[in-house]
Amino acid sequence: MIQKNDKGIVNAWKFYDWANSVHSLVIASAIFPIYYGAVTTVADSGTRITFLGFHPDAAFNFTLAICFFLVILLSPVLSSIADTIGNKKRFLQFFCYLGSLSCMGLFFFTEENIWLGLLLNLLAALGYWGSMVFYNSYLPEIVSEDKMDKVSAQGFMVGYVGSVILLVICLVLIQIVGKGNEGFWTRLSFVFVGLWWMGFAQITFRRIPNNIHNKKIPKNIIQSSFKELRNTANELNKFSQLRIFLGSFFFYSLGMQTIFLIAALFGQSEIGLTTDKLIMTILLIQLEAILGAWLFSFLSGKIGNRNTLLIGIFIWVIVCIIGYLIKKNSPTVEMQFYIMAALVGLVMGGIQALSRSTYAKLLPPTDDHTTYFSFYDVFEKLALCLGLFLFGVIIEMTDGMKVSTLAMGASFCMSFVIMCFLKMKTKWKDE
């Protein structure tokens, strides 16, 4: 066992947010989606290049959906193995290296090999999301309950700051140093993401413990792991507050994470924003997310986790309404989009940080935090799979993204209703 609230360990843990958040910004939302859109567009005519008969934006969404499906399959099993033998740090390292090396490989993605870009983007996302279940599960093991909201928010804030720094560096290299050869420097920025992620993660790996509970490796690892997984699933089913939270979490994750992943493509396809304006919008979202993480942590201390989450979910409904009502030919279309982006950043940063700490607070006393967080991860990825699939299907049906925002708005409304039934407990007990 380790002493909770150890400053060195907690700071090292937060540094993984600094390391891997560059994927979330540069690859998942800023430079790569814009580069992908440019690569899949014929320069002379402006028509989009299809991939295996699919609209390129639909292919992008379907590929990510496959990634999240793989995470859903692997996460609970690998998490139970990690809890059984006490080596979740090794799994965290594996997914970190898978993701960072895949980011570096995107350097070779051009219009001649769209399949390679989609594959490596899938693997990079698999590395990112696969590592998060092991990373998140450290929170209740290294931090006491009264500090969870604050530390979780600080982790996200550090991540947002680090990702903005690298994004600015990449933009300077692409638009100033690489002027006239932007394609090469854009692809080189993907290498920088991988190096940043892998390099700064070493600070985390050097300090966080591996086998916190000093578990011994059983003779039959697989059998013991599946038993662990089954026991945890049974425990989750017994306690209504965990079920209520995960139900609400599923529906707001469906909307929130999907919107975050397609924000750049939405601005490019539906609003017609230039690359410079798209990048500035994404920077605005990140800066607002820093404020949001701090604000929601502060509010949770005043009005409680549930009420703070309800406020965030309600704001997401407003965002979806704005997204649907935006008209490309309106003289104020850019201002409307910037307002929507500011709201997205505010609630994205706040809800992401508060969701992690709220779930950690609801968990029973246990040594199997990784397995419990794997279910948190599964619900999030199931939501993402469904969200991306819905977006892809609606894009194919309507040849646009705006109608999809209504489906996302409906998911937030469902989440709001379910969250109203959540009761945060000061003492955990059987129900």
Between 68-77, 168-177, 407-416, the lowest mean confidence (pLDDT) is in 68-77
Are 285 and 53 contacting, i.e. CB atoms less than 8 angstroms apart? no
190: domain CATH number? Answer: 1.20.1250.20
DSSP designation for 215: P
* Residue 217 lies inside a defined structural domain of this protein: no
Residue 424, domain member (yes or no)? no
Yes or no: say if 243 and 375 are a contact pair by the CB < 8 Å rule: no
Give the SS3 label for residue 260: helix
> What does the block give as tokens for 268?
């490019």
Is residue 430 one of the residues assigned to a domain? no
Number of domains in the chain: 1
Q: Which residues contact 11 (CB under 8 A, 6 or more apart)?
A: 207
Domain that holds residue 28: 7-212+222-419
DSSP assignments along 239-265, one per residue: -HHHHHHHHHHHHHHHHHHHHHHHHHH
380 belongs to a structural domain: yes
Residue 189 inside a domain? The answer is: yes
Give 316-365 pLDDT, tens digit per residue. 999 999 888 888 788 888 888 888 888 988 998 899 889 999 988 888 87
Within a domain: 429: no
**Residue 41: C-alpha distances to residues 118, 171, 179, 254, 306 (Å):** 15, 21, 20, 28, 44
Q: Tell me, yes or no, whether 428 lies in a domain.
A: no
What pLDDT sits at residue 233? 67
Q: How far apart are CA 292 and CA 304, in angstroms?
A: 16
What predicted TM-score, i.e. pTM, was given to this entire model?
Answer: 0.82
Looking at per-residue pLDDT, the higher value among 196 and 428 belongs to 196
- Residue 425 in any domain: the answer is no
Rounded to the nearest 5 percent, the helix, strand and coil shares of the chain are 80, 0, 20
Q: At residue 214, does pLDDT exceed 60? A: no
**What whole-number distance in Å separates Cα of residue 162 and Cα of residue 173?**
17
- The share of the chain scoring above pLDDT 70, in percent, equals 86
Centroid of chain to Cα 3:
29
DSSP label at residue 5: T
Residues 116-141: tens digit of each pLDDT: 999 999 999 999 999 988 898 888 88
Q: Where are the beta strands (DSSP E) in 30-105?
A: none
State the Cα–Cα distance between residues 40 and 110, nearest whole angstrom: 9
